Structure 1
Amino acid sequence: MALHHRLIGKAARLVWKVTKPRTFGVRAVLLDQNDRIALVRHTYTDAWYLPGGGVKKGESVEAALLRELEEEVAVVSPQIERVLGIYHSRREAKDDHIVIFAARTVSGPSSNLPKADLMEIEEARWFALDQIPASASPATVRRITEYRSGVTGLGAW
């Protein structure tokens, strides 16, 4: 894992403690044609996460999701099935709102999931829904469980 990315992350968290910014993000429960889920490990953390990221000023949540999926895992034009939930996180001293989408790739299954942004993504892989790695973040595991249960989520991240 890149030391400079960890240091930048620590510096950002210090700034957030002072400024307490409101942020807005998107993530996807992204499945392929074999019902495998896409997960990513960033260069600045060890846990596995759903792909996604921040919504830029003037950008719709749909446009942000499509941009993030292309940037992180090179998936273009997935079929968005539904909004899985909208969540609120106070982690890292931010006032963060996250919209989670359920989406599916439209191309045939691939054994590899490319990490498109080599500066941000350490690893990207497909996982069977019943074989999520133990190092997945707790919130990621909760979102996958909600998806598998057919629940629409709200509330705390």
Structure 2
Amino acid sequence: MSEAPPEMRSWKSRLITRVVHSYFAFARGMTMGVRAACFDAEGRVFLVRHSYVPGWHMPGGGLERRETALQALVKELREEGNLEMSGLPELFHVYFNRQTSNRDHVVFYRCRNVRQVSRKKPDMEIVESGFFALDDLPEATTPATRRRLAELSGSTPPADFW
């Protein structure tokens, strides 16, 4: 197996991830999450920096019981960035996230013409967020985020693993 991604190298990140996924192992048979590459009218992508894991990520989160992927996506975009979609998101790919657990999947969307209703104030989960030009991403943008953006651009084919 390859080396853990940078966002999973700290013992705190691994511990929190293990505890959360252990809970979900009992609560759910399989875990599934959503993430989205959200682009504004200027073509910039929205990224968030969490309090509990290093790096810049695309917004997203886990599906709850009786929640559709689209409902989870709308909820996560609102919670993590005060974002609204002007149209339907485009399903891009479903990835197996084996770095998190042996049964976690990520439903990945592309959202165009997303707008931020109001600036997102830092909170316990999201400490920083913003729109970034694709050629000027924050240095700490995670490798997985960079891979997904490369796949969206067509410069690399979609992988099966997050």
TM bucket normalised to smaller = 0.7 to 0.9
Distance change in 2, residues 1:12/1:77 (3 Å): same
Q: CA RMSD in A?
A: 3.0
Aligned to 2:147: 142
1:104 equivalent to 2:112? Answer yes
Work out whether residues 80 and 101 of structure 1, in 8 Å CA contact, stay in contact via their aligned partners in 2. no
Match of 2:18 among 13, 19, 32: 13
1:36 equivalent to 2:41? Answer no
- The alignment covers a number of residue pairs equal to 149
1:131 equivalent to 2:136? Answer yes
Aligned to 1:3: none
Distance change in 2, residues 1:81/1:150 (3 Å): farther
Aligned to 2:119: 114
Amino acid at match of 1:64: A
1:46 equivalent to 2:46? Answer no
Work out whether residues 80 and 103 of structure 1, in 8 Å CA contact, stay in contact via their aligned partners in 2. yes
Deviates more, 1:8-17 or 1:20-29: 8-17
Aligned partners of 1:49, 1:141: CA distance in 2, in Å? 9
Query: How far does residue 14 in structure 1 lie from its aligned partner after superposition?
Result: 4.7
Unmatched 5+ residue regions in structure 1? 1-5
Please identify which structure carries the higher strand content: 1
SS in 2 for 1:122: strand
SS in 2 for 1:69: helix
| Aligned residues with identical type, % of pairs | 34
Deviates more, 1:38-47 or 1:85-94: 85-94
Query: How far does residue 149 in structure 1 lie from its aligned partner after superposition?
Result: 1.4
TM norm structure 2: 0.77
Deviates more, 1:80-89 or 1:55-64: 80-89
Unmatched 5+ residue regions in structure 2? 1-10
Aligned partners of 1:146, 1:102: CA distance in 2, in Å? 11
TM norm structure 1: 0.80
Work out whether residues 39 and 114 of structure 2, in 8 Å CA contact, stay in contact via their aligned partners in 1. no
